Each structure stands twice: as C-alpha cells, then as structure tokens.
Amino acid sequence: MSKQINVALIGNPNTGKTSVFNALTGLNQKVGNYPGITVEKKQGICKLPRGVKAHIIDLPGTYSLNASSLDENVVIELLLNKNDKDFPDIAVVVTDVENLKRNLLLFTQIKDLEIPTILVINMADRMSYKGITLDIEYLEEKLNTKIALISTRKKEGIDKLKLLISNYKDVSIEPCIDTTQIDVDYFGNLKKAFPNQLLYKLWLVITQDVNFGKTDRNEIDAVANFKTKSKADLKRLQQKETIKRYQFINNALDKGQTIDLSQAKDLRIKFDRILTHKVWGYVIFGFILLTIFQAIYDWSSIPMDFIDSAFASLSEWTKTQLPQGAFTSLLAEGIIPGLGGIVIFIPQIAFLFLFIAVLEESGYMSRVVFLMDRIMRRFGLSGKSVVPLISGTACAIPAIMATRNIESWKERLITILVTPFTTCSARLPVYLIIIALVIPEGRILGLSYQALTLMLLYLIGFGTAIISAYILNKILKIKSKTYFVIEMPNYKLPLLKNVVLTVIEKTKAFIFGAGKIILAISIVLWFLASYGPGEAFNDAENIVKKEFASENLSSEDLQQKIASHKLEHSFIGIAGHAIEPAIRPLGYDWKIGIAIVSSFAAREVFVGTLATIYSVGSDEEETIKNRMAGEVNPVLGGPLFTFASGISLLLFYAFAMQCMSTLAIVKKETNSWKWPILQLVIMSAFAYIVALIAFQFLK
C-alpha cells in the first residue's frame, strides 16, 4: 500500500501557485470549501517517485502570516493545528523570480513554525529576459532549505520538485532567524509559561484572532506579564519582526541574486500606460467585452443547434422505441427535455469561462480592477469590490465568498448585497433563449443585435449594482476606512493547460450543480403536468371530442388538443392559473409563471421548466425554441413571446433574486437572515415594477 503525505501549497497572490498546482495534479483535483467557512479550496492528488502519493492542498494566497482578512486566517489556522487532517507533512512555498524579496517574508515565517519547507522559485523562463541570475546553492545554504527552480510554462523543474517533496524528511526544519531577539524578556516569560509550545506559534495566537489546537486564548492571556502588552505594543513588535526578517532576506539576496537592469526588456510600462489610461483604458475594455459577446454568439451557434435537435430527436426516439407508459413518458417528456434545456447552453457558458480565464491568466484582469477603482470609489466601494462583481459573471456564490478579502465590514456588506445584480452564468440560458425569440437577426457595424442586447444586459446588471451600492453607502450608518492596494502582475501568454483546466472545472461545476436541481425539478414538474384532479383532467378525451365535434380535426390535431386540455387542468395548470393574474400585467401566461416560481431553486431552471411543460403530451419532434416561438398569448392573441413580453422577462431576470443558494450564502456570510430577506424582497419588487413598466410601455 503506497503512503500518502499532505502537501500545502502556499504563496503570495500572482506567484503562479495555481500553475504549480495544475502541473502537479493535472485533472486529479477537486474544489470544495474549508470546514465552517466559505473560502474555496483546491485539492489534488500527485504521484511521486518511490510509490509515494501526495495529497496537495492549494491554500488561499497570502502575503504573510499576519492575516488581514478571513481567507488569510485559513492558512494560519491550518499551519497551527497539528490535529487537522490536512496538516502538511511539508509546505511548498511558491515564489515569483521577479518578486523574490517580498515573497521570502512568508517563507521565513513558515520556517519558524518548524514545518519542513521547500522553496519553489517559479517563472524561471523570465530570468534572462529580466537580467536575473541566482546562486541556488548559496540560497539553499543561507535559507536552510531545498530549492526547486521551475518554469510551469516550459514544464521545467517539475520532476525535481516532485523528488524534493518525496524526500521531505531530508528538508531542514531549522528557522531562518531567531525572532525572540525582538523582545528577549517578553519571549522568555512566554517560554516559561508554556515550556512545551513552539514560541512562534504562541506569538501568532497572541497577535491574531486564530485557533491554535487545544491551547485556549484565555489561558494565554491570563498568564502573568502578557496583559502588560497593549495592542499598540504588539503592533510595534510585529513591525520589528518584519524589519528583522527583511534584514535577513536582504543579506541572503545580496550574494544569492544578481539583477542586471541593462539586460531587462520590459514593455509592461508601455502597455500599462495604454490599458489603464483614463479614456483609452475604458474604450479598450468596452471593445474586449463586445468581442467576447459577439464570439459567444458566433462560435457557439453550430454546437447549440446540434444539441437542440439531438435532444428533440432523443425524446422522440424514446417515445417510439420504449413501451408506452409512465416511465417512458417521464423520460421523454420530463427528464430528457429538462436536461436538454441546460445542456444546450454548455457551448456558450464554456466560451464565457474561456474568455474570463484568458483575461485572468494574461494579467489583464488586474488592470480592469485598477481601472474600475476610479469609478468604484465614487460609489462608496473599494477597488477590491470589483473582484467579486466581475467574478459574479460566473456565479454569485463564489463571488460573495470572495468578499472576504475586503477588510472594511461596511464595504464588504454592500458588495455582498449588490453582487447578485451582476449577470451570472445561470442567467445566461434565460437571456439567450429569450433574445433568440424576440431580438431580430441583423448586424450593425459587424455586431449582431443579439450580441449587443446580451452585452447591454450585462452592463445594466453592473450599473444597477453600482447605483445600489451608492444608495446603500448613504443609508448604512457604519463607520469604516480602508485603502485600496492591488498588485499588477506581469503580462504573460496564458498557459493553455491552465485555461483548459479552468474551463473544464467551471463548466463541470455548472453542469453538475445545475443538473441535479434540473433533474429533480423535471421529475416533479412532469408528475404535476401529467396528472390532475377531477373530471376535467381524467375525462379530457371525451370533453375535447365533444367540443371540437363540428370541426374536422385530423388525428394529430385532436391529440394535440387533448394534450393541451390535460396540461391546463393538471396540478401544474391549476397552480399556474392561480398565479396568472399577478403576472399577466407583465405579459406572461401561466406557463411562464410556473417557470418563474420553479426557477427560484436556480435561475437556469427557467428554460428546463418550459422545455418540460411544452414537451408533456407533445408528439412533435420539435426543438425547445420552436415550441416556445409557437406559444400563443391567451388574452391578446398572437405570439406569447413578443418584443414587449421578451424585454419584460429579460429585465425581470436581470433584477430578480431568483437563486435560493445565493440567499443561503448571504445568510452564512452576514450571519443574519435580515440581509438575505431584504435582498429577496427589494430585488423581487424592483424586478416586478421594472418588468411591468417595460411591458406596458412597449406593448
């Protein structure tokens, strides 16, 4: 049986930690949350020499063990708690060859915890470009560690890193410096009080709000002489510690690193002048967005048409090949159309994630954050709020988790409350099907009307989030003050492997996350649409035959009338008619009403619900889009999905809080039901009013 060891990947943001993780684990990885808190963690398995298997955990990026945000606490609490199942047998600190001095601060702190620690110096392929040379042997000796000089881009040094990890018992646990020298008396008393504890661990517990195994904070605070240190005194000691560490790092790099500035060829400054320009920066960003949305439409049309017709054919094949009965009906009219309503959007969602991954990998997304900070500050938000707002285009749930980087509670709360306005990938299926139905195909300056409409919906969502933030900033009386700091990573060509893994991981999460909900709801909806109470449902055939006796209907038309009558008098039909008066002023019928209510579980359920409802009893081999296009407005006559009702529906979904999971995560992050309930009520009311005005004005 092969042995398994725990490996913790640690490092500053933008050091290429994710690239190292992907290089080690490949597709043997999964994403989850740390127990008790909503900070994403990546885990993976890596096979090492000599039959050793490594369980690799990719910890959140942190600049030091002096945590300033909740996700940074995750790193410290794991490194302090030997009883944690993920406690590392070895720590791998990933650094960037261009920012080695700053990255080594975290390395020296982890060394003080007496955990075997390997230093990875990443992006070695940029050394000649930047005029950097390193004396690895000298640095290994000075830093008491083993060093792996790697380039994930050129796939160099990964095998050596795996070998070093497998030989982790040979790695020194000796600290780089003696931190007790910053206050000998204080640390002497600490050692006397806790003779069996590691001093640096105690120091971290005293100075920060972190958990430390079985040692109770009150027990530490109660020990004589510790209360004599005020918060200001502790802060000063932390500063002295940092200065001492940098003195050591400077001495090590004086001989271990040489930088010949005459060799450096840096275009970064020139690019930054253009991409962060107060005018051209926004123009370029707008052009990039337009290109993305146009590509989403143009590139995905062929696979989408294929998927749409394939599911329609599969449903029809199931009806003809399997024996008639409830199970065949469930498959053909419930499960297959319901899942088809989601699978059809995989190409567009995959392309969206592809573009986001490329922008992040290239270093451009950090410029967008910097650019948007100029706008955000005027609305009471920090530039850090842009990260959740932009990542909200994928999903509001991890976006709300990402607010843990924001130190100010007021800014964090406002960001949590407004993030659901940004258009997430779950809204994309709703937008795409409605736009395809009501927005004509045509182009202006080479851009299709449909792509422009989609981009406009994204901008409306983002604009509403910003305006809402401004209002909340004025209303909420919470005092806070923060400073915006962001690191600008170097521009680089995106690593194909990283982009592909991101697209696969995100798309897979979307499919399986939505798929489980869709499958469950499809089965429930099929049952509610296939059965009903009383004579009107059970005797549908005779009722319809009598009603249309004077008309010479074909057998096919008659069956369609019977199916329609049954659907209207089924359980779902009765429920739909009950809510219809409330939604009719918005231009919707009872079927859309059912889709809106059921999509509270998840927005993307809307299309799957309509696909299921329209498929029940239908014998025609039609696509979802065709069935929806053929729907007739029961009051006004003519198509149900007109320009007016379509725009009304698009705006409703742009503003409504149609996501149970988002409400749950808001409750968890704010530790109160007050904020998610306010979110639900205000966003839903606002969505209803805007949709009502839009329909009444446009009809």
pLDDT tens profile 650-680: 999 999 987 777 787 788 778 888 998 999 9
pLDDT tier at 36, thresholds 50, 70, 90: very low
Q: What is the pLDDT of residues 248-268, one digit of tens each?
A: 999 999 988 887 765 555 667
pLDDT over threshold 60, residue 77:
yes
- Listed ranges 116-125, 283-292, 422-431, 530-539; the one with the highest mean pLDDT: 116-125
Helix (H, G, I), strand (E, B) or coil at 522: helix
pTM assigned to the model? 0.63
pLDDT over threshold 70, residue 690:
yes
- Position 415, amino acid: T
Among residues 664, 659, 647, the alpha carbon closest in space to that of 684 is found at: 659
CB-count burial class (<10 Å; 0-12, 13-18, 19+) for 61: buried
Q: What is the pLDDT of residues 311-366, one digit of tens each?
A: 878 888 888 888 888 788 788 877 787 677 667 767 877 887 788 788 878 888 77
Average pLDDT over residues 614-639: 63
pLDDT over threshold 90, residue 533:
no
Query: For the chain, which residues make up each domain, given as ranges?
Result: 1-264, 280-475, 498-698
132 vs 340, which has greater pLDDT? 132
Measured in whole angstroms, the distance separating CA 430 from the mean position of its chain's CA atoms is: 19
H helix or E strand, kind and range, residue 165: helix 158-166
Inter-CA distances, 148 with 20, 93, 151, 530, Å: 11, 10, 10, 64
H helix or E strand, kind and range, residue 148: strand 146-149
What one-character-per-residue DSSP string does 222-244 give?
HSTTTTTS-HHHHHHHHHHHHHH
Q: What is the pLDDT of residues 259-304, one digit of tens each?
A: 776 555 566 778 888 888 888 888 888 888 778 777 776 787 788 7
May I ask the CATH class of domain 1-264? alpha beta
Q: Count each helix (H run) and each strand (E run) in the chain, helices first.
A: 32, 11
% the chain with pLDDT above 70: 84
Distance separating alpha carbons of residues 540 and 562, to the nearest angstrom? 6
pLDDT over threshold 80, residue 50:
no
Identify the pLDDT of residue 116.
93
Average pLDDT over residues 601-607: 71
Among residues 356, 314, 500, 349, the alpha carbon closest in space to that of 429 is found at: 349
pLDDT over threshold 80, residue 8:
yes
Distance separating alpha carbons of residues 298 and 296, to the nearest angstrom? 6
Identify the pLDDT of residue 544.
79
Quote the tokens at residue 696. 């009444």
Among residues 477, 393, 473, the alpha carbon closest in space to that of 427 is found at: 393
CB 683 within 8 A of CB 427: no
Identify the pLDDT of residue 1.
42
Q: What is the pLDDT of residues 139-149, one digit of tens each?
A: 999 999 999 99
pLDDT tier at 35, thresholds 50, 70, 90: very low
CB 449 within 8 A of CB 441: yes
pLDDT over threshold 60, residue 606:
yes
Number of C-beta neighbours around residue 529 at 10 A:
26
Identify the pLDDT of residue 341.
65
pLDDT over threshold 60, residue 465:
yes
Q: What is the pLDDT of residues 178-224, one digit of tens each?
A: 888 888 888 888 888 888 888 888 888 887 765 555 555 555 555 43
- β strands within 300-398, DSSP E: none
- Listed ranges 381-390, 393-402, 649-658; the one with the highest mean pLDDT: 649-658
Quote the tokens at residue 62. 């942190």
CB-count burial class (<10 Å; 0-12, 13-18, 19+) for 40: middle
- Angle at 492 (CA atoms; ends 489, 493), nearest 5 degrees: 150
- Listed ranges 375-379, 550-554, 692-696; the one with the highest mean pLDDT: 692-696
- Angle at 664 (CA atoms; ends 661, 667), nearest 5 degrees: 150
CB 606 within 8 A of CB 641: no
Distance separating alpha carbons of residues 385 and 58, to the nearest angstrom? 23
Number of C-beta neighbours around residue 111 at 10 A:
25
CB 451 within 8 A of CB 296: yes
CB 258 within 8 A of CB 132: yes
% the chain with pLDDT above 90: 14
In our burial notation (b when 16+ CB lie closer than 10 A, e otherwise), range 278-300 reads: eeebbebbeeeebebbbbbbeeb
Measured in whole angstroms, the distance separating CA 90 from the mean position of its chain's CA atoms is: 29
Quote the tokens at residue 215. 């040692």
